[in-house]
Amino acid sequence: MKILILGGTKEAAKLAGELVEDGHDVTSSLAGRTKEPNPIKGDTRIGGFGGVTGLISYLQENRIELLIDCTHPFAKQISANAIEAAKAANVNLETRTREPWQKHEGDHWIEVQNLEEARDELPKNARVLLALGSQYIDLFKTRDDVFFLVRMVDQPDKELPLPNHQILLGMPSRDWQEEQDLLKSNTITHIVCRNSGSSGAYAKIEAARNMNIPVIMVSR
Ligand code: NAP
């Protein structure tokens, strides 16, 4: 089959590899947020389609038979576009969304509905591990009474607008002990993150549980 995967996640890259192995003609689509994405089996295209109409044209022009939405659970716009475009172009759509993390005994989660609420929950003088994509950082710039340790995959092109911050480049560790060391050495008092459900990002939640650090968790 000719398959288009809307990706940008580890699961999408893995799925592309499996479908290529099975003999399908697979193209993975990335938004272009990461400067050097890991190689993915099959073809890759990078950049937005130009809204729903652009995605419809892409599906038609490339004779896509199956569209798979395997994007991040908080990438809401592209998922909405996929539903509309697949319907209009009469292409089958399969949606694969990760399950959210579940709260366990010992977790100290403050569950909020959005990032604005997360920002407002932070107490004065908090030292925060901010585990969010670069496009969501701006919102926290009014909190000049808080220190932010900002974990990012790529060095940002421009200075972050946060008054008190330090950038930590790289992916999160999968080892909760390493995450615990990071929280300790930076005397982190709070974590802000979204409930992405990613196994690769879960170690910080375990570390926070062990250290009784509150996690301000943006719900799905
Ligand atoms: P979004 O808000 O849902 O999408 C904004 C626009 O970006 C879409 O309208 C689309 O532009 C373009 N786009 C998004 N995903 C695309 C894809 N896979 N291929 C081509 N164009 C795409 O998405 P987002 O939250 O910015 O996330 C962008 C990408 O990063 C997603 O692929 C997602 O899987 C990945 N990602 C996101 C997060 C996160 O925290 N949101 C975390 C890890 C990975 P057009 O309308 O022009 O087509």
The CATH code of the domain that includes 142 is: 3.40.50.720
pLDDT digits (tens, 9 = 90+) for 166-175: 999 999 999 9
Domain enclosing residue 147, as ranges = 109-218
Per-residue exposure over 111-121, b if at least 16 CB sit within 10 Å of its own CB, e if not: ebeebeebbee
Last residue of a domain, one of 95, 127, 158: 95
Output the CA 78–ligand 1 centroid distance in Å: 6
Answer yes or no: is 7 within a domain: yes
Our answer on whether the CB atom of 203 is closer than 6 Å to any ligand 1 atom is: no
Q: Are residues 113 and 68 in the same domain?
A: no
Q: Does 118 lie in the same domain as 200?
A: yes
CA distances from 169 to 57, 153, 206 (A): 37, 6, 21
143 lines ligand 1 (CB under 6 A): no
Answer yes or no: is the C-beta of 87 below 6 A from any ligand 1 atom. no
Last residue of a domain, one of 47, 73, 95: 95
Whether residue 59 is contained in a domain is answered as yes
Q: Domain for residue 104, yes or no? A: no
pLDDT-derived band at 157, boundaries 50, 70, 90: confident
Give this prediction's pTM. Answer: 0.89
Element (H, E) at 94: strand 92-95
Residue 152 within a domain: yes
Nearest residue (by CA) to ligand 1, atom 28, is: 31
Distance CA 16, CA 24 (A): 9
Same-domain status, 128 and 212: yes
* 76-119 pLDDT per residue, tens: 999 999 999 999 999 999 999 999 999 999 999 999 999 999 99
**From the CB of 83, is ligand 1 less than 6 Å away?**
no
Residue 141 Cα to ligand 1 midpoint, Å, equals 23
Residue 201: pLDDT above 90? yes
Q: Three-state SS for 130?
A: strand
Atom of ligand 1 nearest to the CA of 132: 40
Ligand 1 centre and the CA of 74: distance in Å? Answer: 9
The answer on 121 and 69 residing in a single domain is no
Helix axes 203-211, 176-185, angle to 10 degrees: 60
Q: Is the pLDDT of residue 34 over 90?
A: no
Clarify whether residues 124 and 77 are in a common domain.
Answer: no
Report the residue among 77, 97, 217 best suited for mutation to probe ligand 1: largest number of ligand atoms under 8 A from its CB. Answer: 77
Mean per-residue pLDDT, 134-151 = 95
Which residue, 131, 132, 118, 127, is CA-closest to 217?
A: 118
The CB of 12 under 6 Å from ligand 1? The reply is no
DSSP letter string, 35-71: SSPPP-SSEEEES--SHHHHHHHHHHHTT-SEEEE--
88 and 118 co-located in one domain: no
Given a cut of 90, whether residue 135 has pLDDT beyond it is: no
The C-alpha atoms of residue 110 and residue 192 are separated, in whole angstroms, by 10
Residue 82 lies in a domain: yes
Residues 24 and 64 in one domain: yes
Angle at 169 between CA 125 and CA 147, to 5 degrees: 5
For residue 102, is it within any domain? no
Angle between helices 76-89 and 51-61 (to 10 degrees): 50
Instruction: Note the pLDDT of residue 121.
Output: 98
Same domain? 121 vs 210: yes
Radius of gyration over alpha carbons of the chain, in Å?
Answer: 19
Which of 73, 95, 117 is at the close of a domain?
A: 95
Q: What is the pLDDT of residue 134?
A: 84
Ligand 1 site, residue 75, Cβ cutoff 6 A: yes
Residue 101 placed within a domain: no
DSSP-derived 3-state class of residue 210: helix
Number of domains in the chain: 2
Do 126 and 29 lie in one domain? The reply is no
Residue 111 has φ and ψ, to the nearest 5°, of: -90, 130
**Per-residue tokens: 110:** 């403050």
